[in-house]
Amino acid sequence: MRKPPLEDVRIVAIEQYGAGPWGSVHLADLGADVIKIEDPRSGGDVGRYVPPFQEGEDSLFFETFCHNKRSVSLDLTHPEARAIFEDIVRSADAVYSNLRGDGPEKLRIRYADLAGVNPAIVCCALTGFGMTGPRAEEGGYDYILQGYAGWMSLTGEPDGPPVKTGLSLVDMSTGYAAALALMCGLWSARRDGVGCDCDISLFETAMNLNMYVSTWHLSRGYEPERFANSAHPSIVPFQNFPTRDGWIVIACPKDKFFALLCTELGLEWMIGDPRFATMAARHEHREACVDELSAVLLGESSATWLERLRAAGIPCGPVNDMAGAVADPQTLARDLIAENEHPVLGTVRQIRSPLRVDGRLTELRSAPRRGEHTREVLVAQCGYADADVDRLAETGVFGDVVV
């Protein structure tokens, strides 16, 4: 059997909570050796203590973000810590962090700080606002960034208050962006023998994800507006529709889909009506178009409409709750749910990484206990003797963890 694609990649991760661990966990799922440096002064990664479903230093939140990783307990402010940290970095490919923008400089984990230790090291910093600019020293949190980047102004019903997205999409998207940047830096370092800095921020990721809306605004002064039932700003119909017993999503991003929809709904007259004949015309007459479609769709159940519309080749889908999403036939057919046994939390079931390379399914190891691999990393990877580790433990550099 072929080795995992990133089996020869080692990443030292100074990370906590959501965005940073989300980026590195996908690399771990692809075989990278991700070594979490956990601060014993704060009890390690704060994700260990996120409720609900949390017992002691274990939580289902932490399992989601930190499975398949190793943990080293190390107080980076301790006088003995720098030498230990640099010994770990010597055999690593990357140092990955999510801190405030001034954090990498303070901890001396930028490329300029570590190039003398490992000239090929890639230093990837995920921060709230980047390592420069007037907000570099501010902490960044998903909901705050959704406000900064204008997302909340785009989300919700037309007359309602600003609304966040249902999930922490700024955090998760920035985690993916950081993982991609790290791998690009690693490719360059292995080609040229010289590492680099990667400066990735929640702010810039969120701004970039405004995509064409920001292009419209910057180029033509477009001011976004909200539309009822989560409707697309320019393509009609492309939104949620109520049915007799629930909601479905219908998307007509091409004229041919609109014609098929009208035919299936018995509204063939709309195809030739100049108000609805083109994408631009439907955009101009959005309300009239949606009203005609809605009146018919209310007459049958969601299941009935989905069966009919799918058979006709019209893009559509259910508005699932979480139970419906995880039980969807596609979820089951693609074996998306992984299961493992945790010594404290029992059976843990979660969704596998979508990064399926060479057809390989992600196998999950439980997230590490705090500092679980401290001795293992120092002895096997850095060449320390057990007596060296014992001596260092007496200095308090590992905190309260028994190594």
Q: Could you report the per-residue pLDDT of 339-348, keeping only the tens digit for each?
A: 999 999 999 9
Confidence of residue 8 (pLDDT cuts 50, 70, 90): very high
Number of C-alpha atoms within 13 angstroms, CB side, residue 325? 6
Dihedral of the CA atoms 122, 70, 176, 26 (nearest 10)?
Answer: 120
Confidence of residue 310 (pLDDT cuts 50, 70, 90): very high
Query: What integer is the mean pLDDT of 293-319?
Result: 98
Mean pLDDT of 305-328: 97
Q: Six-digit token pair at 277?
A: 């004949």
| pLDDT computed for residue 80 by the predictor | 97
Whether residue 359 has pLDDT greater than 90: no
Res. 362 pLDDT band, cuts 50 70 90: confident
Does residue 89 have a pLDDT over 80? yes
Contact 197, 132 (CB under 8 A): no
Token pair of 230 as six digits: 């989560």
For residue 18, the 8-state DSSP code is: S
Q: For residue 247, what pLDDT band results from cuts at 50, 70 and 90? A: very high
Asked if the model's pLDDT at residue 1 lies above 80, the reply is: no
Res. 161: pLDDT tops 90:
yes
Task: Give residue-wise pLDDT tens across range 229-245.
Answer: 999 999 999 999 999 99
74-78, 92-96, 169-173, 352-356: least confident range:
352-356
Q: Does pLDDT of 306 surpass 90?
A: yes
Q: With bands split at pLDDT 50, 70 and 90, how would you rate the model's confidence at 125?
A: very high
Residue 51 burial (C-beta neighbours within 10 Å; 0-12, 13-18, 19+): exposed
The pLDDT value given to residue 326: 97
Using CA atoms, how far apart are residues 20 and 200, in angstroms rounded to an integer? 10
pLDDT band at 14 (very low <50, low <70, confident <90, very high): very high
pTM over 0.75: yes
Confidence of residue 133 (pLDDT cuts 50, 70, 90): very high
Sign of CA dihedral 278, 279, 284, 288: positive
Give the whole-angstrom CA distance, residue 30 versus residue 214: 34
Task: Indicate which residue of 33, 39, 75, 171 is catalytic.
Answer: 171
Selecting from 3.40.50.970, 3.30.1540.10, 3.40.80.10, 3.90.440.10, what CATH number does the domain 229-319 have? 3.30.1540.10
Least Cα distance to 154 among 87, 225, 104, 210 occurs for: 225
Residue 299 exposed, middle or buried by CB count within 10 Å (0-12, 13-18, 19+): exposed
- Give residue 350's pLDDT: 96
pLDDT for the residue 305: 98
Contact of 102 with 19, CB cutoff 8 Å? no
Token pair for 78 = 């301790």
pLDDT grade for 113, boundaries at 50, 70 and 90: very high
Q: Specify the domain boundaries for CATH 3.30.1540.10 within the chain.
A: 229-319
Whether the per-residue pLDDT at 387 is higher than 80: the answer is yes
* pLDDT confidence tier of residue 360, bands split at 50, 70 and 90: confident
Is the pLDDT at 358 greater than 90? The verdict is no
Question: Mean pLDDT over residues 2-22, rounded?
Answer: 96
In 3D, which of 139, 117, 116, 119 has the Cα closest to residue 127?
139
Query: Catalytic site residue 291?
Result: no
Q: How confident is the model at residue 260 (pLDDT cuts 50, 70, 90)?
A: very high
Q: Tens digit of pLDDT for each residue in 206-219? A: 999 999 999 999 99
* pLDDT recorded at residue 44: 97
Over range 285-296, report the average pLDDT: 98
| pLDDT tens per residue, range 34-75 | 999 999 999 999 999 999 999 999 999 999 999 999 999 999
pLDDT at 25 (0 to 100): 98
**Topology adopted by domain 10-209+334-395:** Rossmann fold (3.40.50)
- Which pLDDT score, from 0 to 100, does residue 363 have? 83
For 78-87, what is the mean pLDDT? 98
Domain with CATH 3.40.50.10540 in the chain: 10-209+334-395
Provide Rg for the chain, Cα atoms.
Answer: 25
Tell me what the pLDDT averaged over the chain comes to.
96
Q: In the structure, what pLDDT confidence band is assigned to residue 31 with cuts at 50, 70 and 90?
A: very high
